[in-house]
C-alpha cells in the first residue's frame, strides 16, 4: 500500500499521465478502417443462420431438416439435440456466493423445449448468410405451445405457470439484509415517505452486434476464434470447457470491438453453436447477429419493481431505509455471471451515499419466459440510485428542505473513511462532500433555483435534479467471480518489454472496446518507464499475445489492469536503470529515464538512448558483465485483497423542462462531478462519463423492450426501440475530484459506469421537480409522454 501524497514517477513533469493523448484507434475507426470480426475473411468460410423459437414457451415435438439440407450451398444443419451431444454438459448459471440460488441447466440451443422467444433451435450453415437464411426458412419445426410466464408480478404466485416445472416455482433467488433496527426507526420517525418504482427492460444496443468467426484446424486440432468480446480469456475457458477442448489449443482474438457495455462478457448459445459447426466441418464458420437477433437474444437488463420507504427526522436526518426488490429475469440464469447480480447490486448500493444505520432490503428474482438478463453497464445502479435518490427528494419535500441541503446533512463525511455502509459494504477514499460542493458551484445552484421559480410563474415548468451515488468498480477476488466459482480472473496482468529498437511493447489482459483502454495503458507505460508515448505499443485482445487476465468489465480496466501495467513498467524501468548503471559504470540511483533517454538524475543530461540498451541487451550481451542476465520483459499481476470492489462516488445535477400539455421532456443541461481517483487521460474519462450519462438517459426516457402477454417482443428494431440520439441530449458538464484509492499505487478507480449509474436518477428527480406544481409524481422509467400525461392527470 502506498503512503498517500508520495511523489511517484507518474506525477513527474515528464510523465504522460493526466494528459489528453488522442487514441490511435479512433482515427482508424473514423476513417472506416477499423477491422471488426465481420471484416475478417478466412479462406473457405461458411456462414451460420439460426431458426429460432417463435414462441416464448413450447415443446419441440418434431424437426424436419431434410429439405433445408438439400438446398444449394448448405453444408451443415444441426439441431439443439445434436449440439448437445457435442457439449461436455449443460451450463448452470449459479455462483456459490448466492447459496440458495437455483436455475435450470441449459444447452447452447433448445433441446426439446424452447423457453424464450428467439432461443436458437436449429442452426443452418451455408456458403453465404443469405443462402443459410433461405435454407433456414425451409426447416420445419412442430411446436406444442406451453403456458407462458410473462409478468414478474404474478410469476411468484402459488398457482403461476412455471418456466421450469423441475424447479417447482419461478423463484431464482431471495435474499434479505437487515441492519440496525428498521422497525423501531420507522415507528419512531417524524416522517415517513414511501413510493413504488417501476423500471422497464432494456438492452445494450452495441453498434457492432455480437459476432464470431471460429476456425478449427482438424490437422493440428487448434481452434482460433475471432469474436467481439470484452473477455477473451473467459471466452477461451468456457469454450474449452463446453466443447471439451484443451484450453491451450483455443486462441481467442477480440479485434476491433464496436461497443459492448457488458453485453459481450457472456456466453451466447448461437456463438457456441457456430464454434461447434467449425469443429465438425473443419472450416471457418461465421455468425454475425443481425439487429433483430440482437434485440431478441442479447442479454436484457433492468426489469425491476422496487418499493421503498424512508424515515426522516424533521431536521432532515435520514433515519432508516427499507426497500423491496422484485426483479424479473429471463428463462435461465445467464452463464457464467448469473442473472441475480442486478438485484443484488440494487440491494448493495441503494442509499449508499448516506450515513443512516438502519437498512432493510429484500430481493426476489423471478424467472420468466423471456430472454435471459444479465450484466449491463452499471448493473443495478441506475435502479438503486433512482429509488434512493427519489426517496431522499420525497423526504426533503415532506419536511420542506432543499434537496441539496438534505443531502449535505446526510452524506458520509470525507474524513470518515474507511467505513461501512448500512448495506454492509466497505467503502474508502470517498469524497461526497467535496463532490457535492463542487456540483453546487458548477451548477450555480442558487441562480438556477431562482430562474426555475420565476419561469414557473410564466407557466414554463423547469425542474432541477440532484442525485448522489456510489458505484462498485473493479470487483475483487473475494466477490462474485473469483470466490463465486466462475472461470473469470479477478486479478489482471501486464507484460512490459523493451525491443532492440528501444521501443516498448505493453501486452495487457484487459481489453479495449473503443473507450481507450489501450491509450490509457500506453500513457501509464510511457509515464512509468520514462519514454515518449509513441515509443509504446499496446497489445490487447488476444489470448496468444497477452498475459492471462479477466478482460474489461465492471469498470476494472484502469483500476486493475492499469496497476498491473504500472508495476510491470516500473519493473522494466528498474532493470533498464540497472543495465544503464552497469554500462555507464554509475549507480542506478543517480540516473533517470526521460523521453526514451537515460539521463543524469537532476541535471537531465542525456547519457544514453534506450535504443542502446535495447541493442546491447538483445544483441551485444557480451558488453555486459557476466553476472548480469538481461530479462528485458516483465510481467506483473495485480489483485485486490478482501475488498468486494473499489467503490467510487459522485453526484449528478440536471436541469430539464417539461411540456405539461404534451408530456415531452427537454433536457437542458446535466452536470456530473465524480471521483475516479487518479485520472490518466482527462478527455477519455470525461467521455466515459458523458457517454455513460447518455446511456442512462436512454433508460430514463426512451429505451424499453416491450413484451405482450405471451412474452413476445413487440419492438425488435431501431425504429421502435428508441435509443438516445444527439439532437435530444443536453450539454454535460463533467468534473473530477481525484481521491486516489489506497489499494494501489496508481490510485485509479473505475470511471466507465459513473455516468450511467445515476443519470436516470437525476433526470427523474428533475422531472419530478418540474411537475411538482401539479402535485404529480413520476416513478416509472422510461418516462414516456404517456407516463407523464397519466401522472399529470391529463389523460
Partner 1 sequence: MKAAKFKYIRPSSLDEAINLLSDFGEEARILAGGQSLLPTLNMRLSQPKVLIDINRLDELQGISHEGKHIRIGALTRHVDIAESDLITENIPLISEAIEYVAHVAVRNRGTFGGSVALADPAAEMPACTLALQGTLVVEGPNGRRQIRADDFFHDLYETARAPEEILVEVQLPIRRSGESFAFMELSRRKGDYAMAGLACKATFQDNRFLSVRLVYFGTELKPTLGENVMSQLEGREWSETLAEKVIASLEDDLDPVDNLQGSAAMKLHLQKVLTKRTLAEVVQRLGNV
Q: Which segment (129-137, 340-348, 359-367, 412-420) binds partner 1 by CB under 8 A?
A: 129-137
Planar angle of CA 516, 520, 525, nearest 5 degrees: 145
CA distance 150 to 369: 6
Least Cβ distance, residue 722 to partner 1 (angstroms): 6
Residue 542 grid coordinates: 488476444
728 makes contact with partner 1 (CB under 8 A): yes
- Residue closer to partner 1 (CB basis): 129 or 639: 129
- Residue closer to partner 1 (CB basis): 177 or 292: 292
- Residue closer to partner 1 (CB basis): 587 or 786: 786
Q: Write the DSSP string, 625-692.
A: -TT-----EEEEEE---S-S-EEEEEEEEEEEEEETTTTEEEEEEEEEEEE-BS-S-HHHHHHHHHHH
41 makes contact with partner 1 (CB under 8 A): no
Q: Are the beta carbons of 697 and 756 closer than 8 angstroms?
A: no
Least Cβ distance, residue 670 to partner 1 (angstroms): 17
Least Cβ distance, residue 271 to partner 1 (angstroms): 18
664 makes contact with partner 1 (CB under 8 A): yes
Alpha helices in 362-516 (DSSP H): 381-399, 403-410, 432-443, 445-457
Three-state DSSP string of 716-764 = CCCCCCCCCCHHHCCEEEEEECCCCCCCCCCCECCCCCHHHHHHHHHHH
The DSSP secondary-structure symbol of 202 reads: E
Site string for partner 1, 130-149 (x = CB under 8 A): x--xx--x------------
Q: Which segment (27-35, 185-193, 277-285, 661-669) binds partner 1 by CB under 8 A?
A: 661-669
Give the residue, chosen from 87, 292, 478, 483, that forms a contact with partner 1 under the rule CB under 8 A.
292
Q: Which segment (500-508, 509-517, 624-632, 778-786) binds partner 1 by CB under 8 A?
A: 778-786
Bridge-based pairing state of the strands 606-609 and 58-64? unpaired
Site string for partner 1, 696-725 (x = CB under 8 A): ------x---x-------xx-x-xx-x-xx
662 makes contact with partner 1 (CB under 8 A): yes
Q: Which segment (16-24, 146-154, 310-318, 781-789) binds partner 1 by CB under 8 A?
A: 781-789
Which residues are CB-neighbours of 746 under 8 A, at least 6 positions away?
Answer: 10, 524, 558, 559, 562, 563, 566, 678
Binding to partner 1 (CB under 8 A) within 356-375 occurs at none
Least Cβ distance, residue 515 to partner 1 (angstroms): 25
Alpha helices in 400-516 (DSSP H): 403-410, 432-443, 445-457
Q: Which segment (220-228, 261-269, 573-581, 662-670) binds partner 1 by CB under 8 A?
A: 662-670
CA distance 171 to 327: 10
Q: Residue 129, SS3?
A: helix
784 makes contact with partner 1 (CB under 8 A): yes
Binding to partner 1 (CB under 8 A) within 425-454 occurs at none
Q: Which segment (113-121, 494-502, 571-579, 785-793) binds partner 1 by CB under 8 A?
A: 785-793
CA distance 76 to 123: 8
Residue 703: CB atoms within 10 A of its CB come to 23
Alpha helices in 36-195 (DSSP H): 66-70, 80-86, 129-136, 152-155, 182-187
Q: Are the beta carbons of 634 and 571 closer than 8 angstroms?
A: yes
666 makes contact with partner 1 (CB under 8 A): no
793 makes contact with partner 1 (CB under 8 A): no
Site string for partner 1, 238-277 (x = CB under 8 A): ----------------------------------------
Interface with partner 1 (CB under 8 A): 128-130, 133-134, 137, 290, 292, 661-664, 702, 706, 714-715, 717, 719-720, 722, 724-725, 727-728, 784-786, 789, 794-795
Amino acid at each position: 500500500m502506498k503512503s498517500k501524497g508520495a511523489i511517484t514517477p507518474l506525477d513527474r513533469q515528464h510523465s504522460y499521465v493526466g494528459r489528453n493523448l488522442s487514441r490511435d484507434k479512433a482515427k482508424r475507426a473514423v476513417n472506416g478502417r477499423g477491422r471488426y470480426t465481420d471484416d475478417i475473411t478466412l479462406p473457405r468460410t461458411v456462414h451460420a443462420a439460426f431458426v429460432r423459437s417463435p414462441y416464448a414457451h413450447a415443446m419441440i415435438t418434431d424437426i424436419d431438416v431434410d429439405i433445408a439440407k438439400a438446398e444449394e450451398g448448405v453444408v451443415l444443419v444441426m439441431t439443439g439435440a445434436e449440439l448437445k451431444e457435442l457439449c461436455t454438459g449443460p451450463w448452470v448459471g449459479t455462483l456459490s456466493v448466492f447459496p440458495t440460488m437455483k436455475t435450470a441447466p441449459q444447452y447452447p440451443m433448445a433441446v426439446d423445449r424452447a423457453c424464450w422467444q428467439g432461443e436458437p433451435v436449429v442452426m443452418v450453415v451455408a456458403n453465404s448468410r443469405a443462402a443459410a437464411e433461405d435454407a433456414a426458412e425451409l426447416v420445419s419445426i412442430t411446436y406444442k405451445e406451453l403456458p407462458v410466464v410473462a409478468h414478474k408480478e404474478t410469476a411468484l404466485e402459488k398457482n403461476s405457470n412455471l418456466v421450469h416445472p423441475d424447479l417447482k416455482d419461478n423463484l431464482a433467488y431471495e435474499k434479505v439484509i437487515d441492519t440496525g433496527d428498521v422497525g423501531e426507526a420507522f415507528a419512531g420517525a417524524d416522517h415517513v415517505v414511501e413510493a413504488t418504482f417501476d423500471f422497464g427492460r432494456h438492452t445494450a444496443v452495441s453498434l457492432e452486434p455480437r459476432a464470431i468467426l471460429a476456425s478449427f484446424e482438424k490437422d493440428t486440432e487448434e481452434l482460433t476464434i475471432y469474436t467481439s468480446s470484452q473477455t477473451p480469456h473467459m471466452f477461451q475457458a468456457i469454450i474449452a470447457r463446453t466443447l471439451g477442448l484443451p484450453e491451450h489449443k483455443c486462441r481467442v482474438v477480440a479485434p476491433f470491438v464496436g461497443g459492448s457495455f457488458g453485453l459481450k462478457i457472456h456466453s451466447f448459445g448461437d456463438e457456441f453453436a457456430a464454434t461447434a459447426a467449425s469443429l465438425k466441418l473443419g472450416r471457418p464458420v461465421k455468425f454475425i447477429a443481425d439487429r433483430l437477433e440482437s434485440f431478441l437474444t442479447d442479454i436484457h437488463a433492468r426489469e425491476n419493481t422496487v418499493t421503498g420507504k424512508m424515515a426522516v427526522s424533521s431536521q432532515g436526518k435520514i433515519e432508516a431505509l427499507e426497500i423491496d426488490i422484485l426483479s424479473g429475469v429471463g428463462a435461465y440464469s445467464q452463464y457464467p455471471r448469473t442473472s441475480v447480480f442486478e438485484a443484488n447490486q440494487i440491494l448493495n448500493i441503494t442509499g449508499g451515499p448516506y450515513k443512516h444505520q438502519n437498512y432493510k432490503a429484500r430481493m426476489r428474482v423471478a424467472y420468466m419466459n423471456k430472454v435471459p438478463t444479465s450484466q449491463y453497464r452499471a448493473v443495478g445502479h441506475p435502479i438503486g440510485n433512482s429509488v434512493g435518490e427519489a426517496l431522499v427528494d420525497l423526504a426533503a419535500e415532506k419536511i420542506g428542505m432543499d434537496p441539496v441541503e438534505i443531502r449535505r446533512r446526510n452524506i458520509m463525511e470525507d474524513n470518515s473513511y474507511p467505513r461501512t455502509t448500512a448495506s454492509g459494504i466497505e467503502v474508502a477514499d470517498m469524497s461526497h462532500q467535496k463532490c457535492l460542493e463542487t456540483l453546487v458551484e458548477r451548477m450555480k445552484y442558487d441562480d438556477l433555483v431562482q430562474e426555475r421559480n420565476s419561469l414557473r410563474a410564466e407557466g414554463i415548468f423547469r425542474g432541477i435534479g440532484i442525485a448522489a451515488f456510489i458505484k462498485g468498480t473493479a470487483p475483487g477476488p473475494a466477490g462474485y467471480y473469483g470466490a463465486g466459482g466462475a472461470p473469470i480472473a479477478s486479478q489482471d496482468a501486464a507484460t512490459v518489454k523493451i525491443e532492440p529498437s528501444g521501443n516498448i511493447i505493453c501486452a495487457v489482459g484487459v481489453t479495449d472496446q473503443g473507450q481507450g483502454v489501450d491509450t490509457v495503458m500506453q500513457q501509464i507505460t510511457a509515464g512509468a518507464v520514462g519514454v515518449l508515448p509513441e515509443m509504446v505499443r499496446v497489445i490487447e485482445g488476444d489470448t496468444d499475445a497477452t498475459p492471462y487476465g479477466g478482460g474489461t468489465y465492471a469498470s476494472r480496466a484502469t483500476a486493475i489492469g492499469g496497476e498491473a501495467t504500472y508495476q510491470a513498467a516500473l519493473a522494466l524501468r528498474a532493470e533498464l536503470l540497472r543495465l544503464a548503471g552497469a554500462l555507464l559504470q554509475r549507480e542506478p540511483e543517480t540516473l533517470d529515464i526521460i523521453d526514451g533517454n537515460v539521463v543524469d538524475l537532476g541535471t537531465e543530461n542525456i547519457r544514453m538512448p534506450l535504443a542502446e540498451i535495447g541493442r546491447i541487451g538483445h544483441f551485444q550481451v557480451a558488453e555486459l558483465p557476466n553476472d548480469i542476465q538481461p530479462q528485458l520483459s516483465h510481467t506483473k499481476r495485480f489483485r485486490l485483497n478482501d475488498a468486494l470492489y473499489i467503490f467510487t462516488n459522485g453526484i449528478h445535477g440536471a436541469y430539464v423542462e417539461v411540456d405539461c400539455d404534451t408530456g415531452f421532456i427537454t433536457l437542458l443541461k446535466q452536470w456530473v462531478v465524480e471521483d475516479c481517483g487518479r485520472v490518466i487521460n482527462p478527455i477519455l474519462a470525461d467521455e466515459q462519463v458523458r457517454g455513460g450519462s447518455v446511456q442512462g438517459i436512454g433508460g430514463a426516457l426512451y429505451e424499453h423492450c416491450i413484451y405482450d402477454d405471451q412474452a413476445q417482443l413487440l419492438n425488435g428494431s431501431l425504429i421502435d426501440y428508441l435509443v438516445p440520439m444527439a439532437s435530444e441530449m443536453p450539454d454535460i458538464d463533467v468534473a473530477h475530484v481525484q481521491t486516489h484509492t489506497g489499494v494501489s499505487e496508481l490510485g485509479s478507480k473505475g470511471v466507465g459506469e459513473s455516468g450511467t449509474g445515476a443519470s436516470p436518477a437525476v433526470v427523474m428527480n428533475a422531472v419530478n421537480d418540474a411537475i411538482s406544481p401539479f402535485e404529480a409524481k413520476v416513478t416509472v422509467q422510461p418516462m414516456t409522454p404517456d407516463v407523464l400525461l397519466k401522472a399529470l392527470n391529463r389523460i
